[in-house]
Structure 1
Amino acid sequence: MNQIINMVIRMVTRRLINMGINKGIDVAAKRGQGGKDLTPEQRQAAGKTSKRAKQAVRMSRRIGRF
């Protein structure tokens, strides 16, 4: 029973951490403006920046497994 509880807690924690990291990347890419006062070009650049950062996080996780 203890193993099942630990497994569920690890799954929830992992999911929350990933959501937090993604949200932080999005905020940083938009320079903390929350999407306000951004031109369409800036919005597009922020989207590309956040996509690249998320890819880098995924790659670092894969490398860290070895």
Structure 2
Amino acid sequence: MNRPRLRRSLAAEYLELRWGITVAVQTLAKWACTGGGPEYQRLNRTPLYSPAALDAWAIKKLGKPVTNTSQEES
């Protein structure tokens, strides 16, 4: 997926392949209305996600790595 912008179906696939985060296409659509999802741009009515925006969102959601449960944030 070496494209500058991805449609929702490819954005969901990208998140799963690159980050192991499973997100339904419908969930991305809902987040576009309610907020909380990755940023996107529109070309007419088509939402397009940049890989950089998907990466930034995934990193923010995943949090920092830990080696044991006592390191987890509450």
TM-score by length of 2: 0.29
- Look at both structures and tell me which one has the larger radius of gyration over its CA atoms: 1
| Structure holding more strand per residue | 2
TM-score by length of 1: 0.31
Higher relative contact order (CA 8 A, sep 6+): 2
| Structure holding more helix per residue | 1
